[in-house]
Structure 1
Amino acid sequence: IPDTFLVAEIAGRITGYLVGSVTQKRYLTDDLFENVVSNPASGGFIQIQSLSVAPKFAGQGIGTALLAALKDLALAQNRDGISLTCHSELIPYYEMNGFSDEGPSDSNHGGSLWNNMVWENR
């Protein structure tokens, strides 16, 4: 899924990455962590499976920059939006980045409780 896998780099060092794949579903489902398929050319929601920033670069806006770049991709690829799940303590972070909290997720990935967060391409 190279068209929705982003890498942040500073001076040749990887500082963070974002992994996403596209489905027609509004919410991320656990099967996306096991079954990777090519993205459709347009439409659907980009489902973020992972957003990671190297600890040394935490708090420097790397994650926010990756999310902004993915929004640009969603617009360019004519996607319906972006969806992800997160733990409760991260809801304010994603809301700050334009995502809406749509309540508890059905996901039980890793045995955790998750919340659905969605950014819509209006």
Structure 2
Amino acid sequence: MTKEELQERFEFRNVKAEEADQAIEIENICFPPNEACSPKSMTERVSRAQETFLVAVDKETGKIAGFLNGIATHEEAFRDEFFTDITLHNRKGKNIMLLGLDVLPEYRGQGLASEIMERYLKREQEVGRKRVVLTCLDEKVKMYEKMGYKDLGISGSVWGGEKWHDMEYVL
């Protein structure tokens, strides 16, 4: 889809508290059980870090098609506790630690993930953030490099028993 078609089809905005159940369901579709955020942690993120979520809502159905979420922090290095401890979120944090990019299967291959990411990075730059950091599996490195991220090598993260790459985007 073109940018114009994406803009026409989707509303891009912060998540709403009442959308926690949708976010949990989407997370469980998009990630295997060992990697997915727990319902408790996702509910806490939705209620306490709405400003670091960006959802794409299908205007036709009113349902979330995909989202990006993270937490803000002054910390520089990604660590697994960001996934489970919402008290590490600092609204004024200079960095964002991304915790998940989720796009439902029926919306993939249309440029939605790239559009969500591009809008997210622009928004975080506008509010004065300095860096966005994420972890990804080997097979996703090239996708994130196309989005402008730099591969920093193997992460210290062992989330879900996997081997991750730290990826960084300097705003």
> Normalising to structure 2: TM-score of the pair?
0.67
Cα drift, residue 27 of structure 1: 3.0
Paired letter, 1:39: N
Q: Given the alignment, which residue of 108, 118, 122 partners 2:168? A: 118
Task: Give secondary structure in 2 for the equivalent of 1:67.
Answer: helix
Counterparts of residues 73-112 of structure 1 (less than 5 Å): 73-112=123-162
Cα drift, residue 24 of structure 1: 1.6
Match of 2:90 in 1: 39
Cα drift, residue 26 of structure 1: 2.6
Match of 1:2 in 2: 50
Higher strand share: 1
- Greater Rg by CA: 2
Paired letter, 1:40: R
Higher helix share: 2
RCO (CA 8 Å, sep 6+): is it higher in 1 or 2? 1
Task: Show structure 2 runs of 5+ residues with no match.
Answer: 1-48
Alpha carbons 1:18, 1:51 under 8 Å: kept = yes
Cα drift, residue 13 of structure 1: 2.6
Task: Show structure 1 runs of 5+ residues with no match.
Answer: none
> Normalising to structure 1: TM-score of the pair?
0.92
Alpha carbons 1:27, 1:84 under 8 Å: kept = no
- Distance (whole Å) between structure 1 residues aligned to residue 94 and residue 137 of structure 2: 24
Instruction: Provide the aligned length of Structure 1 versus Structure 2.
Output: 120
Structure 1, residues 44-98: CA drift from partner, whole Å, max 9, x if none? Answer: 2111101100000111111111111111122111111110000011000000000
- Distance (whole Å) between structure 2 residues aligned to residue 57 and residue 17 of structure 1: 12
Q: Any runs of at least 4 consecutive aligned residues in structure 1 with deviations exceeding 6 A, and if so which? A: none
